[in-house]
């Protein structure tokens, strides 16, 4: 006697196939939902804010009157802040990655540093704000300055840059290092002339993505106490300043409806920054993939 | 002009070498009138607990092609990587015993490993050019050692590429990425890169194992040409290759040297039964 | 040749030997690892800084407020003039409301997207959709907060008339949308690393793709999926701007999701944007709340780490 009855199997087959089709549609809907959210979000903001975007908006300072409100101080402030964050976080991040990948021996200390970095990446950004408030604003007496905010943001994105740089350095094949050592190159020569040049596209891509996160972060700035209504531009790293997300947050909280449109216009500017930075990251990735 | 330059270069190299070799007559071991480049005495090496090389004693002569054969895992690659201390890149390696390069123990504390590797070049199993232009690949060695003059570098690049018999194939695209070349060309670029610092010895770790037969043949011919000016130590898994190109052959088994002799002798009348079993294909 | 170029009859090895005597090279070799190590210590110092800052200021807070009142109190009225109360439970409850709603939204959708991308989508579709999800993950939270307040809340009010302007539901849903890419992307990674040979074994027996996904791939990738969810929970716990904008500032101790709430993060933002003077009890309270939040997220992060290490599938 046969254990397997073909007719029963074929009968079940139909329901099984239908089930497969049904679930596939459901999974696809889930994916679509996520994409749809992005589309709705972008369409909403652009349609709300586009009307308020004009030259005056970029060149005016903040104002109590929505029609006169501008984003100048926030825009310049964000750019200044990023010009502190970028060198500090990239230099520290790449240096740490080189240490961990090329120099650190496999021991308790380096394990601890690695573990520490992965935990630091999971600390909420608002806690970094508390750190910045205590250490930079108060203990080092930097006040609510560009430097205090820049250092806080640098520490916030440091783990992301370290991990990206580690991956890029690890992706350089060991044979490349051997070739260099085989010619009598020292370790540092090998790192600067072989490992880093090959890893730079990956490092830059990861760093730019991390920096684009720093530009949109709001919570640490709120905690540090960055002001919002400023009628002047910062003139030194020790100056007070305001930043794009702070300005948007302030507008979004206001009760007048017009300010919601102003906030949307601000968000458009912020998103343009992010799109530009992401495009640069993608461009670097593609360009160097071709060359190497 | 370039040919004469190469000749000049050769004579000059010989002069340099003979001046280095003054007073070394006493250590000539064989009947051949040749100096020893690498003298290995009671050399042992461990990877952690694994005893990879046991009591190696081997004298390698200059301007010979010395082939090292043996089944995989016998320690042949480990041995030549010990000769330029590349084994030390593996953190768990321990050694004892002596390897003399030109009468100086390379494992002595004051020996700068960079200096050793400047004299002892290496070509690897898989072609490993840098992802840079062909020119920058060849100029890498001279540059890290402080040669910056563009004219000198140009000459070194051309001479090295000619030396590696690849000049005609790449002379029109020196600024192109070396990764655009075929595997065989890449390996000859790696040989040229090695020649660019005019090493005394060239170590080759199965240099043709990743190449097709025609590229293999080109590399083998190249080895024959290079032996006039360089001492070459080549690890190979291919016994025919060892028989074709080498003067001396060492047979390694389980981390020991079973037999070391003239290649003709090894392949015609080996003394040890294990050597005979291996070369007649009974194992390995 | 090289001799002609340099004009004085040197071989390359001679030139090398000549330039070797530079002392700078040796100093660099010795110095660089030390400098790099110092850079690596910055990340350790950051952690130490965070922990010590939180502990010291929290300790100061507990000089003024009893630790049991803080941990077990159900009233959080720090601003009520002469009789402020600091019972943290309402803030924790607010945070948990947001997190639970977010997870209810994000886990099914994130997993559906992950299964679709890993098991059904063509290579081309995957290469298009994954970067779009990354964009979704890169949208600043302030933008999500604005979206919750001005778009999601009004829509929900149409459906649930009793819904207040500030509520738990809308920011909860939007936090969920924010963490979808995280769950989708990390779970997809876990599922893609299940070797194809295992799938083919099941497919060759006549299993449908759905059966393979649910009975073969999902169990094999379970540790990666769970750790992605735990990480997403940690993100939701610490999310600040969405809940500050759309959640309100009313710490309540009930299970209602239609009314205004306050999370731990939103409280810190409320105090920071106001002008609570340095050295007041309210000032120290943000550190105590921050510390509480830090402990929550730390536990989640360690848990995620443990799960992915401990239950890693070996193929």
Instruction: Choose the closest CB to B152 out of C5, C18, C20.
Output: C5
Backbone angles phi, psi at A187, to 5 degrees: -60, -45
DSSP code at position B243: H
Does the residue A134 lie in any domain? yes
What pLDDT sits at residue A289?
63
Assigned token pair, A62: 């903040």
Are residues A228 and A281 part of one domain?
yes
Q: Which residues of B touch C14 (CB under 8 A)?
A: 16
HEC secondary structure over chain A: CCCCCHHHHHHHHHHHHHHHHHHHHHHHHHHHHHHHHHHHHHHHHHHHHHHHCCHHHHHCCCCCCHHHCCCHHHHHHHHHHHHHHHHHHHHHHHHHHHHHHHHCCCCHHHHHHHHHHHHHCCCCHHHHHHHHHHHHHHHCCCCCEHHHHHHHHHHHHHHHHHHHHHHHHHCCCHHHHHHHHHCCCCHHHHHHHHHHHHHHHHHHHHHHHHHHHHHHCCHHHHHHCCCCCCCCCCCCCCCECCCHHHHHHHHHHCCCHHHHHHHHHHHHHHHHHHHHHHHHHHHHHHHHHHHC
Computed over its alpha carbons, how large is the radius of gyration of chain A? 25
Q: Look at residues C238, C105, C294 and name the one whose alpha carbon lies nearest to residue C181.
A: C105
What pLDDT sits at residue A231?
80
Which positions in chain B have a beta carbon within 8 angstroms of at least one beta carbon in chain A? 84, 86, 89, 91, 114-118, 121-122, 124, 126, 128-132, 140-141, 143-145, 177, 179, 190, 193-194, 197
Are residues A176 and A118 part of one domain?
yes
Q: Which residues of A touch B193 (CB under 8 A)?
A: 179, 183
Q: Which residues of B touch C13 (CB under 8 A)?
A: 16, 118-119, 197-198
Residue A68: pLDDT band by 50, 70, 90 thresholds? confident
Distance (Å, rounded) from C-alpha C164 to C-alpha C146? 16
Q: Look at residues A274, A243, A286, A219 and name the one whose alpha carbon lies nearest to residue A84.
A: A243
Mind listing the pLDDT tens digit for each residue in A141-185?
Answer: 999 999 999 999 999 999 999 999 999 999 999 999 999 999 999
Mind listing the pLDDT tens digit for each residue in C150-201?
Answer: 999 999 999 999 999 999 999 999 999 999 999 999 999 999 999 999 899 9
Distance (Å, rounded) from C-alpha A77 to C-alpha A70? 13
CATH number of domain containing A254? 1.10.3720.10
Are residues A42 and A91 part of one domain?
no
pLDDT at C25 over 70: yes
Distance (Å, rounded) from C-alpha C145 to C-alpha A260? 12
Q: Look at residues A32, A44, A93, A29 and name the one whose alpha carbon lies nearest to residue C151.
A: A44
Interface confidence, given as ipTM, is 0.91
For residue B93, give every residue at least 6 positions away whose Cβ sits within 8 Å of its Cβ, in sequence order, or none.
Answer: B45, B46, B47, B87
Q: Which residues of B touch C5 (CB under 8 A)?
A: 149, 151-152, 154-156
Mind listing the pLDDT tens digit for each residue in C247-275?
Answer: 999 999 999 999 999 999 999 999 998 86
Rounded-to-10 torsion of CA B155, B158, B163, B166: 170
> Strand order in B231-235's β-sheet?
B120-123, B201-205, B231-235, B65-69, B248-253, B256-262
Does the residue A117 lie in any domain? yes
- For tokens 């300072």, the residue is A61
Distance (Å, rounded) from C-alpha A101 to C-alpha B88? 17
HSE, side-chain direction, 13 A CA sphere, residue C311: 16
Residue A231 belongs to what domain range? 73-291
Total of domains in chain A: 2
Are residues A78 and A42 part of one domain?
no
Are residues A186 and A45 part of one domain?
no
Q: Look at residues C93, C39, C54 and name the one whose alpha carbon lies nearest to residue C264.
A: C93
- Which residues are paired to B120 by β-bridges? B201
Mean confidence (pLDDT) of chain C:
90
What pLDDT sits at residue B51?
94
Q: How far is CA B276 from the centre of its chain?
A: 26
Are residues A104 and A28 part of one domain?
no
Q: How far is CA B3 from the centre of its chain?
A: 24
- Reply yes or no on domain C85-310 having CATH 1.10.340.70: no
Are residues A43 and A77 part of one domain?
no
Does the residue A61 lie in any domain? no
Mind listing the pLDDT tens digit for each residue in C107-159?
Answer: 999 999 999 999 999 989 988 898 888 888 899 999 999 999 999 999 999 99
Distance (Å, rounded) from C-alpha C21 to C-alpha B188? 31
Distance (Å, rounded) from C-alpha B272 to C-alpha B261? 11
What pLDDT sits at residue B28?
36
Does the residue A147 lie in any domain? yes
Does the residue A172 lie in any domain? yes
Distance (Å, rounded) from C-alpha B278 to C-alpha B70? 8
User: Is the minimum CB–CB distance between B119 and chain C shorter than 8 Å?
Assistant: yes
Inter-chain residue contact B145 with C15, CB threshold 8 Å: yes
Are residues A251 and A122 part of one domain?
yes
What pLDDT sits at residue B86?
93
**What value does the mean pLDDT take over residues A107-132?**
93
Inter-chain residue contact A178 with B114, CB threshold 8 Å: no
Instruction: Choose the closest CB to A123 out of C35, C132, C297.
Output: C297
Q: Which residues of A touch B89 (CB under 8 A)?
A: 177-178, 181
**Distance (Å) of CA B140 to CA B152, B180, C4, C84:** 13, 18, 21, 71
Residue of C nearest to A31 (CA): C113
Answer yes or no: are the C-beta atoms of C271 and C286 closer than 8 Å. Answer: yes
User: Is the minimum CB–CB distance between C217 and chain A shorter than 8 Å?
Assistant: no
Does the residue A57 lie in any domain? no
Instruction: Choose the closest CB to C1 out of B8, B142, B146.
Output: B8
- Number of Cβ within a 10 Å radius of residue B239: 20
Pairing of strands B36-47, B50-61: antiparallel
| Positions of chain B with pLDDT under 50 | 1-29, 31
HEC secondary structure over C36-105: HHHHHHHHHHHHHHHHHHHHHHHHHHHHHCCHHHHHHCCCEECCCCCCCEECCHHHHHHHHHHHHHHHHH
Segments making up each domain of chain C, as ranges: 85-310
Inter-chain residue contact A185 with B128, CB threshold 8 Å: no
Mean confidence (pLDDT) of chain A:
91
For residue A19, give every residue at least 6 positions away whose Cβ sits within 8 Å of its Cβ, in sequence order, or none.
Answer: C208, C210
Q: Which residues of A touch B132 (CB under 8 A)?
A: 197
Q: Look at residues C307, C300, C299, C306 and name the one whose alpha carbon lies nearest to residue C226.
A: C307
CA distance A281 to chain B (A): 21
Are residues A80 and A34 part of one domain?
no
Rounded-to-10 torsion of CA A6, A10, A16, A18: 180
Distance (Å, rounded) from C-alpha A64 to C-alpha A256? 10
CA distance C130 to chain A (A): 10
Are residues A135 and A28 part of one domain?
no
Answer yes or no: are the C-beta atoms of B249 and B266 closer than 8 Å. Answer: yes
C272: burial class by Cβ within 10 Å (0-12, 13-18, 19+)? buried
Are residues A48 and A9 part of one domain?
yes
């Amino acid at each position: 006697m046969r254990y397997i009855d073909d007719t029963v199997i074929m009968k079940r087959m139909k329901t099984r196939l239908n089930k497969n089709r049904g679930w596939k549609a459901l999974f696809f809907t889930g994916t679509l939902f996520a994409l749809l959210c992005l589309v709705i979000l972008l369409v909403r903001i652009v349609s709300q804010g586009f009307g308020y975007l004009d030259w005056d908006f970029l060149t005016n300072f903040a104002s109590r009157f929505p029609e006169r409100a501008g984003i100048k101080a926030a825009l310049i402030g964000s750019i200044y802040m990023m010009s502190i964050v970028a060198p500090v976080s990239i230099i520290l991040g790449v240096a740490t990655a080189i240490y961990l990948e090329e120099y650190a021996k496999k021991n308790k200390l380096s394990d601890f540093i690695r573990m520490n970095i992965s935990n630091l990446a999971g600390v909420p950004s608002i806690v970094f704000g508390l750190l910045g408030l205590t250490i930079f604003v108060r203990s080092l007496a930097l006040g609510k300055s560009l430097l205090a905010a820049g250092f806080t943001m640098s520490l916030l994105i440091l783990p992301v840059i370290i991990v990206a740089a580690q991956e890029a350095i690890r992706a350089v094949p060991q044979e490349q290092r051997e070739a260099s050592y085989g010619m009598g190159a020292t370790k540092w020569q090998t790192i600067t002339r072989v490992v880093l040049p090959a890893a730079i596209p990956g490092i830059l891509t990861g760093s730019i993505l991390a920096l684009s996160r720093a530009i949109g972060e709001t919570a640490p700035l709120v905690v540090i106490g960055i002001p919002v209504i400023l009628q002047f531009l910062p003139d030194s790293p020790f100056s007070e300043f305001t930043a794009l997300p702070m300005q948007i947050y302030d507008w979004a909280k206001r009760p007048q409806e017009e300010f919601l449109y102003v906030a949307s216009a601000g968000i458009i500017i912020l998103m343009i920054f992010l799109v530009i930075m992401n495009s640069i990251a993608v461009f670097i990735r593609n360009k160097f993939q071709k060359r190497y | 002009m370039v040919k004469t330059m190469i000749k000049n270069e050769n004579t000059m190299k010989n002069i340099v070498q003979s001046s280095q070799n003054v007073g070394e007559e006493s250590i000539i071991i064989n009947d051949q009138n040749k100096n020893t480049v690498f003298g290995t005495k009671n050399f042992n090496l461990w990877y952690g607990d694994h005893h990879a090389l046991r009591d190696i004693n081997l004298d390698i002569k200059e301007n010979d092609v010395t082939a090292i054969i043996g089944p995989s895992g016998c320690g042949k690659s480990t041995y030549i990587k010990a000769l330029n201390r590349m084994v030390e890149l593996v953190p768990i390696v321990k050694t004892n015993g002596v390897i003399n390069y030109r009468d100086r123990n390379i494992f002595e504390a004051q020996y700068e490993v960079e200096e050793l590797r400047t004299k002892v070049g290496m070509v690897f199993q898989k072609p490993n050019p840098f992802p840079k232009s062909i020119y920058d690949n060849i100029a890498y060695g001279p540059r890290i050692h402080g040669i910056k003059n563009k004219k000198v570098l140009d000459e070194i690049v051309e001479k090295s590429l000619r030396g590696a018999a690849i000049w005609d194939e790449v002379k029109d695209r020196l600024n192109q990425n070396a990764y655009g070349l075929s595997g065989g060309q890449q390996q000859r670029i790696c040989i040229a890169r090695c020649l660019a610092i005019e090493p005394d010895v060239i170590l080759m770790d199965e240099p043709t194992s990743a190449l097709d037969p025609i590229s293999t043949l080109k590399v083998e011919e190249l080895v024959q040409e290079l032996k006039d000016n360089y001492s070459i130590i080549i690890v190979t898994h291919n016994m025919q290759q060892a028989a074709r190109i080498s003067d001396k052959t060492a047979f390694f088994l389980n981390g020991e040297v079973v037999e070391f002799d003239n290649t003709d002798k090894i392949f015609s009348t080996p003394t040890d039964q294990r050597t005979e079993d291996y070369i007649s294909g009974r194992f390995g | 040749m090289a001799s002609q170029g340099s004009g004085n009859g040197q071989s390359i090895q001679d030139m090398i030997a000549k330039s070797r005597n530079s002392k700078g090279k040796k100093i660099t070799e010795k110095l660089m690892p030390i400098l790099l190590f110092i850079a690596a210590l910055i990340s350790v110092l950051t952690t130490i800084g965070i922990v010590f800052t939180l502990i010291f200021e929290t300790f100061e807070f507990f000089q003024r407020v009893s630790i049991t009142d803080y941990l077990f109190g159900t009233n959080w009225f720090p601003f009520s003039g002469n009789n402020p109360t600091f019972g943290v439970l309402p803030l924790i409850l607010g945070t948990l409301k947001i997190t639970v709603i977010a997870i209810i939204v994000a886990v099914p959708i994130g997993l559906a997207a992950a299964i679709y991308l890993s098991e059904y989508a063509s290579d081309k579709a995957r290469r298009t959709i994954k970067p779009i999800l990354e964009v979704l993950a890169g949208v600043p939270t302030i933008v999500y907060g604005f979206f919750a307040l001005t778009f999601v809340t009004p829509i929900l009010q149409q459906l649930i008339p009793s819904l207040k302007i500030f509520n738990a539901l809308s920011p909860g849903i939007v936090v969920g949308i924010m963490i979808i890419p995280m769950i989708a992307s990390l779970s997809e990674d876990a599922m893609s690393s299940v070797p194809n040979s295992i799938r083919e074994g099941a497919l060759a027996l006549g299993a449908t793709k759905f059966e393979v996904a649910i009975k073969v791939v999902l169990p094999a990738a379970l540790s990666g999926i769970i750790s992605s969810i735990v990480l997403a929970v940690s993100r939701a716990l610490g999310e600040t701007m969405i809940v500050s904008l759309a959640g309100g500032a009313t710490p309540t101790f009930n299970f209602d999701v239609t009314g205004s709430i306050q999370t731990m993060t939103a409280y810190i933002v409320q105090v920071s944007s106001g002008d609570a003077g340095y050295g007041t009890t309210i000032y120290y309270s943000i550190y105590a709340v921050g510390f509480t939040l830090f402990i929550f997220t730390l536990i989640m992060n360690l848990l995620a780490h443990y799960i992915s290490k401990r239950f890693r599938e070996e193929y």
